[in-house]
Amino acid sequence: MLRLDPDLGAAVGDDRRELALRSCVAEVLDIPRGEWQIDGLEQVQNGFGLLVLSGILCRRVVQSERYGAELVGPGDLLRPWDRIGEWSTIPTESSWTAIEPARVAVLDEEFARRAAPFPEIGVTLVRRGLLRSRYLAILVAIINQRRIETRLDMLFWHLADRFGQVRGEWVHVPVPLTHSLLGELVAARRPSVTTALSKLQDRGLVSRDREGWRLNGSIPPEYHALRGNGAADGLAAPLH
């Protein structure tokens, strides 16, 4: 695991690193593109969960006829079997889709025992879970913007912070997002998203390519403020 995700053991001292490398092994699952059924993962429930190593997954939440969504990718810690729908006063359902083929490590109870002599690894996994909650907080702040055009512009830069690659004077976000999925991410109807995207493209701020999206403009001031708040919590990360 520490070779697949070097940051996971970055805090482990040099004198224990080799032992940690040998001890912290885990099964890896390959998830093909498409709907992901999480059945059969009961053995993981007493462990840390699933750690995304590569690919992009989408979690959708349905309440009545309304959809919400979040994207998770490399470094994110998941526990998809933990649901609140059974006891929540607001009934919801959730589902998972692999937007891109993904690989996840199974950090089950056995892994937890093997990693126990290295508490730095457990602390890092807790941090990963907290970072995901902060990413969700940023997404909520984006959704609260009045104009859909602004929401989309901010969302693209948020995804750029997480998954983007700097290419000279522009940033590539290699995530194949459809108009429908973008609508779920920014809480808007698909026709409204299509109209807002056309405006952003007319202004030369975003364009679509075969692998995802290309950002040609500058970071919107609204997102600058969010990044500043995130940096205070150790959230904002440099683009790749």
**57 forms bridges with which residues in the sheet?**
72, 98
The 10 Å Cβ neighbour count of residue 81 is 13
What's the confidence (pLDDT) of residue 237? 45
Rounded to two decimals, the pTM is 0.86
- Calculate ∠ Cα 218-129-109, nearest 5°: 150
By C-alpha distance, which of 206, 201, 215, 202 is closest to 170?
215
108 in a structural domain: yes
Q: How far is CA 59 from CA 161, 205, 229, in A?
A: 19, 27, 25
What's the confidence (pLDDT) of residue 210? 86
Q: Domain of 175?
A: 146-232
Q: Are residues 181 and 76 in the same domain?
A: no
Q: Are residues 181 and 224 in the same domain?
A: yes
237 in a structural domain: no
What's the confidence (pLDDT) of residue 101? 95
Q: How many domains does one find in the chain?
A: 2
189 in a structural domain: yes
CATH number at residue 89: 2.60.120.10
pLDDT in tens, the chain (240 residues): 999 999 999 999 999 999 999 999 999 999 999 999 887 776 677 899 999 999 999 999 876 667 789 999 999 999 888 776 565 666 567 889 999 999 999 999 999 999 999 999 999 999 999 998 889 899 999 999 999 999 999 999 999 989 998 887 889 999 999 999 999 999 999 999 999 999 999 999 999 988 899 999 788 888 877 666 654 344 444 444
Q: Are residues 193 and 89 in the same domain?
A: no
Radius of gyration for the chain, computed over Cα atoms and rounded to the nearest angstrom: 19
- Calculate ∠ Cα 138-144-149, nearest 5°: 95
Q: Are residues 130 and 153 in the same domain?
A: no
